[in-house]
Structures are given as structure tokens and as C-alpha cells.
Structure 1
Amino acid sequence: MKHVVITGTSRGIGFEMVKLFSEAGHHIIALSRKSESLQALNLKNVQVIACDITKEEELQKIAAHIAVTWNNVDVLINNAGAILNKSFAEGSLAEFKAIYDINVFGVAGLIQKLLPVMNSNSHVVNISSMGGVQGSMKFPGLSAYSSSKGALITLTEMLAEEYKENGPSFNVLALGAVQTEMLEEAFPGYKAPVSAKEMAKYIVDFSLTAQKYYNGKLLQVSNSTP
């Protein structure tokens, strides 16, 4: 059974992934700023920990906890994300930075802290968006979100190159439309063809096996636009 760390687990895809990993018998540390929804489920082999990934001191506490309780991480899924749906001119620089803090810098910070407990067989899966893929369709109002997800794609490619000799493996999934609260924020009223649970199952399976076949790869997981 694997030791799995997942961020952004209070709702949507992350919430569903925790349930699927638990059902399969894996050990999970579920991180999110709001932990009540998962705590209430009392899932087997799941440690639910409130954590703001933009705060380095909180990441340090998570790393210290893992070093003591597990001493290794097999899978890290950076699923936490934030969106700002506002025209570029109307949004403030502080709002722009806040999106990058969660979508890029928080991811980089957590990876840095957990590298000492990962090995050549470990797998880091970063969750990006089709909006961050160069040449894909773009939508007004999502400049902070889409550009940050593009940065996450490049970060993944760089880390895969830097750690290709001894691991871990790094891959990034650019998701298309999935029926989540975040999609509703970006495209009010739009109904996606894929549910959060369906996408969660895909990511769970990918995270457990894909490092055998991929490293430093961007996979576009989308059958619709947006």
C-alpha cells in the first residue's frame, strides 16, 4: 500500500481522490485549508490536516510530521488551486499574486519540503489546466489563473529534468472541463461532461502507475472546451 499526500481535498476532485485512495487501502495525508468536510467522513487510513500551502511554516510542520510518521512519500498530488475570474484591468496586483501563491509557489514549496522523503519510485503529479497549455483556447478574465497553470507546466518539466537520475518522477495533467465548484466560478451555468469523481479515478490510477512510462510529460485530459 502506498503513502499518498494530496492537497486541495476539501471539495471537488481532491475530495473524491481521498475517498478512492482510502477505499483501495492506501495511506493518505489530506491537506486543505478547510478540513471539516473530510474529517466528518472518518475515512480509514486518512489523516486530514488543515494546511495553507502558501505559508512555509505550515509546510515545514507537514514535512516534519511525515518524516516521523511515514518516513516516505510514494505519491504527491498537487491538486490545490485557486481561480480569479476578473478582467486583467480590474484585478489588482495583490489578487494576481495570490493566485500564483497557491497555484505555483505553494506547489514548489511543498515539493521542496517533501523531496527528502521521496525516492526514485515516487511520483509527483501536478494538476494544471488546459488554460495553461500553450496554443490552447483562452478565455477573458482568467489571465492570472491560466498563466499560473502555464507556469506549473514548465515547473514540472524542469523538475523532471533536474531529478531524472534519482527521482522522483514528475508529470502534469492539464484538465479540461470537470463539474466542480471551480468550474462554476469560471463559467457560471456551464455543465461539464466529466464529473469530479470520474476525473478523480483517472488521476488516482495515473498517479499509481504512470511514472513507469512518463517523466516530465504534459498530458492533456480533456474532451471539451472549456
Structure 2
Amino acid sequence: MNIIVTGASSGVGFEAVIELCLSGQHNIIALARSQDKLGRLLEIAKGINPDCTLYALAFDLVNDDYNDLQQFIANNFDNRVDILINNAGMLVNKPFMELQELDFIEMLQSNYIGHVRIIQSLVTLMPPGAHILNIGSMGGFQGSVKFPGLAAYSASKAALHTLTECLAFELAEQQVKVNCLALGSAQTEMLEKAFPGYESPVLAFEMGKYIADFALTGHKFFNGKILPVAVTTP
């Protein structure tokens, strides 16, 4: 499988890449903005499995030139992408009345527009049976408990959830499946920013493994679904 993972420099994206590298059966491109953190990812992955095929590329989904990424895929991935995991994102934690318009713009760019751009750029390279997996949030899941300070973040994730449903219909003729995992808490830097001092019962590597497994097999059972991945209700 040729797999691309965005937001791969930390948290569950980092762990998902590590999990995908274990078998040595996949070709993986890990994308993130931090080259230093990507270097650490590459070092750890090669330490665990020296034979894994992993390319760690510094790339900004919102601002960088997708022609460069497309050329890299043509040269190293035989111009084919089987799985795209859209995990990149940011979080701002501010009371609603303190949020500036730029905060909402930043959340939408990082958590929604960036994913739109990469999907538009790569979907023509995806064969029948390919899978686009968007990583959403329980914060944007309809009917879930919402928390103060996360209005801009949660709204941007809700947009990603709806995009998932729309694309599943639009790409049906191409036979590309599109799903979204609305993640609850996992012990990551982003969780600490959202809920300082809170300890999640789910570790980052556990959630990363779940994401990797679902990316490989979930589209056999689901399409156009926003699936809550949380140990609490609602």
C-alpha cells in the first residue's frame, strides 16, 4: 500500500506512522511542518524496522506548492496513493468572547482547508478501493458534550465531518471510500492544551494503532461515516 499521513510529527499521527512501519509491507510518506520532529520520527521508525519504506517530508498543507508533492509521489509512489490519512490540525483554547476572527481563520485553514487542498491534489491518483480517512474530533461531533474555549476548534472539525459525508457521495463513482474518526481524548500535546492537567485513559500509541488499523481495513465496512472513538458518553 502507498500511504500518506499528514500531521505526522507528533501525537496520534506520529504513532500511526510507527504502527504502519512495523510490517514493512507499506510505502509511507509522512508529512508535517517540522523537519526536526520528522527526523525523530524517521530515526525511531528505522530503529524499529530498518527495512521500512518511509519518507518524511516537511510540507505545509495550507501554503506549500502541491506540484512538488505530486512530483515526489510520481517519482517514489508510482503516481498512486492508496490511503490518505488527514490527521494534521491545530487547536486554540480561548473563551468565545476573546476569540479573534484570525483565530477562526487559522482553525479553518489548519483543520479544514488544508485537508480540502490535499484531497483535491491527490484524489486523481487514488485507484478504485482507495481510502481517505479524516481525523475529526468529538468536539465537532453532533450531540457530544461541548467545552468552553474550544468553539473555533470544534466548529472547524464539524466542517471536516460534513466534508467527509459529501465526498463519500461525490467519489462513489471513482470507488474511493471516505470516512472520519471523531476522536475522543488521547494523551497528546493537543489534549494537554485543551484540558490542562487531564489524563486520558487512552495513550497516544493506542489511538495511533487504531487509526492505522482502520485506515487499512475500515473502508471495507464503512463509507461516508463519522465514527465516534471515545470511551465516554455522550
TM over 0.5: yes
1:83 aligns with 2:91: yes
1:38 aligns with 2:38: yes
The amino acid of 2:8's aligned partner reads T
The amino acid of 1:154's aligned partner reads T
2-structure distance, mates of 1:225, 1:148: 22
What's the TM-score, normalizing by structure 1? Answer: 0.95
Gaps of 5+ in 2: 47-51
Query: What is the 5 A alignment of 1:1-226?
Result: 2-25=1-24, 26-40=26-40, 41-42=42-43, 43=46, 44-57=52-65, 59-70=66-77, 71-224=79-232
What's the TM-score, normalizing by structure 2? Answer: 0.92
1-structure distance, mates of 2:23, 2:232: 30
Displacement, 1:38? Answer: 3.1
Q: Residues 213 and 116 of structure 1: is their aligned pair in 2 closer, same or farther, counting only changes over 3 Å?
A: same
The amino acid of 1:72's aligned partner reads R
The amino acid of 1:36's aligned partner reads D
1-structure distance, mates of 2:233, 2:186: 10
The amino acid of 1:122's aligned partner reads A
Encode CA deviations 1:23-44: one digit per residue, 9 max, x unaligned: 1111110000002233234333
Contact 1:177 1:225 in 2 (8 A): no
Moved more, 21-30 or 39-48: 39-48
Encode CA deviations 1:137-181: one digit per residue, 9 max, x unaligned: 001110110001000000000000101122211000000011000
Encode CA deviations 1:67-115: one digit per residue, 9 max, x unaligned: 2321101110000111010012111111210110010000000000001
Runs of 4 or more consecutive aligned structure 1 residues displaced over 3 Å after TM superposition: none
The amino acid of 1:3's aligned partner reads N
Gaps of 5+ in 1: none
2-structure distance, mates of 1:119, 1:56: 25
* Residue of structure 1 equivalent to 2:49: none
Contact 1:126 1:156 in 2 (8 A): yes
Aligned residues: 224
Displacement, 1:14? Answer: 0.8
Contact 1:123 1:170 in 2 (8 A): yes
Contact 2:17 2:212 in 1 (8 A): no
Displacement, 1:224? Answer: 2.9
Displacement, 1:56? Answer: 4.8
1-structure distance, mates of 2:159, 2:181: 13
Give RMSD over aligned pairs.
1.3
